[in-house]
Amino acid sequence: MRVTVKDVTKRFGATIALENVSLDVGDGELVALVGPSGCGKTTLLRLIAGFETPDAGDILFDGRSVLGVPPERRGVGIVFQNYALFPHMTVFQNVAYGLKFRQTSPDFVWTVRLRRPRAGEDVRSRRSLVRELLELVGLSGLENRMPAELSAGQQQRVALARALAPSPQVLLLDEPLSALDAKLRERLRLEIKKIQRTLKITTVYVTHDQEEALAVADRVAVMSVSHLEQIGTPQEVYNTPATEFVARFIGRGNLLPGELLGVDATRVLVRPERIRLNQSANYTLSGKIIAKEFAGDAVWLHVDVSGTALIVKAPSPDQALHEGDAVHLGIDRSDLYILPSDRRSPPTP
Ligand code: ATP
Sheet holding 337-338, edge to edge: 254-257, 267-270, 337-338
What pLDDT is recorded for position 310?
A: 95
- Give dist(CA 185, CA 180) in Å, integer: 6
Residue to substitute in 8, 10, 15, 227 for testing ligand 1 pocket (most ligand atoms within 8 angstroms of CB): 15
Interval 168-202: pLDDT, tens: 889 999 988 887 788 888 888 898 898 899 889 99
Which of the pair, 346 or 122, is modelled with greater confidence?
122
Interval 117-158: pLDDT, tens: 455 555 556 778 888 888 888 888 999 999 999 988 889 889
Ligand 1, atom 11, lies closest to the CA of: 40
How far apart are the CA of 17 and the centre of ligand 1, in A?
6
Interval 57-105: pLDDT, tens: 999 999 999 999 998 888 898 887 776 788 899 999 888 887 765 443 3
How far apart are the CA of 18 and the centre of ligand 1, in A?
10
- In angstroms, what CA-CA distances link 329 with 137, 273, 332? 47, 11, 10
Does any ligand 1 atom lie closer than 6 A to the CB of residue 208?
yes
How far apart are the CA of 63 and the centre of ligand 1, in A?
27
How far apart are the CA of 199 and the centre of ligand 1, in A?
30
Task: Give percent of the chain with pLDDT exceeding 90.
Answer: 53
Residue 13 alpha carbon, nearest atom of ligand 1 = 29
Written as one letter, the residue type at 249 is: F
Residue 223 alpha carbon, nearest atom of ligand 1 = 6
- Give dist(CA 323, CA 252) in Å, integer: 20
State the chain's mean pLDDT as an integer.
86
- Give dist(CA 57, CA 55) in Å, integer: 7
Residue 346 has pLDDT above 70, yes or no: no
Q: Which of 75-79, 98-102, 284-288, 321-325 has the lowest mean pLDDT?
A: 98-102
Residue 298: phi, psi to the nearest 5?
Answer: -155, 170
Task: Output the pTM of the full model.
Answer: 0.86
Which of the pair, 111 or 305, is modelled with greater confidence?
305
Q: Would you call 166 helix, strand, or coil by DSSP?
A: coil
* Residue 310 Ramachandran class (φ > 0 left, ψ -120 to 50 alpha, else beta): beta
Which distant-in-sequence residues (6+ apart) come within 8 Å of 331 by Cβ? 261, 270, 274, 275, 276, 281, 282, 283, 284, 285
Does any ligand 1 atom lie closer than 6 A to the CB of residue 17?
yes
Ligand 1, atom 20, lies closest to the CA of: 38
Residue 294 has pLDDT above 70, yes or no: yes
Residue 348 has pLDDT above 70, yes or no: no
Does any ligand 1 atom lie closer than 6 A to the CB of residue 37?
yes
